[in-house]
């Protein structure tokens, strides 16, 4: 099957669950954002050129990579506003981790032990990342299925491209997908409200690349970081809801709002607490919470 779509995946925030801010002063981030940039392969050259113009607008040569965290606040807003005008779709899975503080997946740990530093320890397993990635794939595969005939007149697959990280095992993620596909008819498979459309997904067509070598990953970094900047409070309690308001129209949707589809907030039924600015950002993507 020919490839018709790219899904570029990057994240913002910490995956740590043992200690979490603001409950723990020195804890991991309260929010973790996993973001996918979905683009047709036929439109990707245009996207590369457009992002080069964005770099020029903030004073960077087209050959230089963008890391959102290294930009000034003014540059971040310029880049976010420009991404909102590009031909792409965003899918964001956003986890508020307060209710997971101290949680351990003992089943994964029991199956994944190794000797390290003279004793038997749990092997690092990407269960938290993979569980969010599943939500992302459910939505991305549905979008590919929805658009493939309109774009190409036939079914075309989606290639998944991760931003490379040393501490993430992509072979584990690939094995996780194979397991999901193999066991999809088992009763225990349907443990959330969605399913992955395997007709547009080749579980062996997964790649990881360096951020500097792939424009799509630089866009995914900027999008994930902008969402994170809109929700996760800094040490000074600052967030900027404008980032989410700017990106609102780029989130995939099947209705007037991206809520629970192109923008998925976890856990289901999340009620806060949120600050006034966090509430404003979430309201722009369909979540009405009390501050």
Distances (CA, A) of 97 to 70, 79, 243: 25, 28, 21
Residue closest to 135 by CA, chosen among 269, 270, 267:
267
What is the rounded average pLDDT of the residues 165-181?
A: 83
What angle do helix axes 44-57 and 73-83 make, rounded to 10 degrees?
150
Average pLDDT, the chain: 87
Structural domains in the chain (count)? 1
Residue closest to 287 by CA, chosen among 221, 205, 227, 226:
227
Instruction: State how far the Cα of 246 lies from the Cα of 242, in Å rounded to an integer.
Output: 6
Instruction: Kindly report the CATH number assigned to the domain that includes residue 35.
Output: 3.30.420.10
Which has the higher per-residue pLDDT, 73 or 173? 73
| Predicted model pTM | 0.89
**Does residue 288 belong to any structural domain of this protein?**
no
Host domain of residue 227: 3-283
**Does residue 290 belong to any structural domain of this protein?**
no
Instruction: State how far the Cα of 275 lies from the Cα of 232, in Å rounded to an integer.
Output: 10
For residue 210, give both structure tokens.
């360096």
Could you tell me the maximum CA-CA distance found in the chain, to the nearest angstrom? 58
**Does residue 168 belong to any structural domain of this protein?**
yes
Distances (CA, A) of 8 to 22, 63, 66, 80, 271: 30, 19, 15, 17, 30
What is the rounded average pLDDT of the residues 149-155?
A: 95
What digits encode the pLDDT tens for the residues 77-116? 999 999 999 999 999 999 998 876 654 444 544 455 444 4
**Does residue 289 belong to any structural domain of this protein?**
no
Instruction: Give the per-residue pLDDT at 1.
Output: 84
């Amino acid at each position: 099957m020919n490839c018709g779509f790219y899904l570029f995946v990057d994240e913002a925030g910490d995956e740590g669950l043992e200690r979490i801010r603001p409950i723990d002063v020195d804890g991991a981030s309260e929010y973790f954002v996993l973001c996918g940039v979905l683009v047709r392969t036929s439109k990707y050259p245009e996207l590369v050129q457009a992002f080069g113009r964005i770099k020029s607008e903030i004073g960077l040569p087209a050959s230089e990579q963008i890391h959102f965290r290294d930009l000034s606040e003014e540059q971040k807003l310029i880049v976010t506003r420009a991404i909102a005008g590009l031909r792409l779709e965003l899918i964001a899975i956003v986890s508020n981790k307060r209710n997971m503080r101290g949680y351990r997946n003992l089943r994964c740990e029991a199956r994944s032990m190794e000797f390290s530093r003279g004793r038997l320890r749990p092997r690092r397993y990407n269960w938290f990342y993979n569980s969010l990635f599943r939500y992302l794939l459910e939505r991305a595969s549905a979008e590919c299925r929805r658009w493939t005939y309109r774009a190409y007149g036939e079914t075309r697959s989606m290639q998944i491209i991760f931003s490379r990280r040393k501490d993430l095992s992509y072979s584990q993620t690939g094995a996780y997908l194979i397991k999901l596909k193999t066991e999809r008819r088992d009763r225990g498979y349907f443990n959330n409200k969605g399913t992955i459309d395997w007709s547009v997904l080749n579980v062996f067509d997964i790649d990881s690349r360096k951020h500097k070598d792939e424009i799509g990953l630089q866009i995914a970094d900027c999008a994930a970081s902008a969402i994170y900047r809109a929700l996760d409070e800094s040490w000074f309690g600052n967030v900027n809801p404008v980032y989410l308001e700017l990106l609102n129209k780029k989130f995939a949707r099947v209705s007037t709002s991206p809520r629970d589809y192109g923008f998925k907030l976890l856990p289901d039924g999340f009620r806060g607490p949120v600050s006034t600015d966090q509430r404003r950002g979430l309201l722009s993507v369909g979540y009405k919470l009390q501050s």
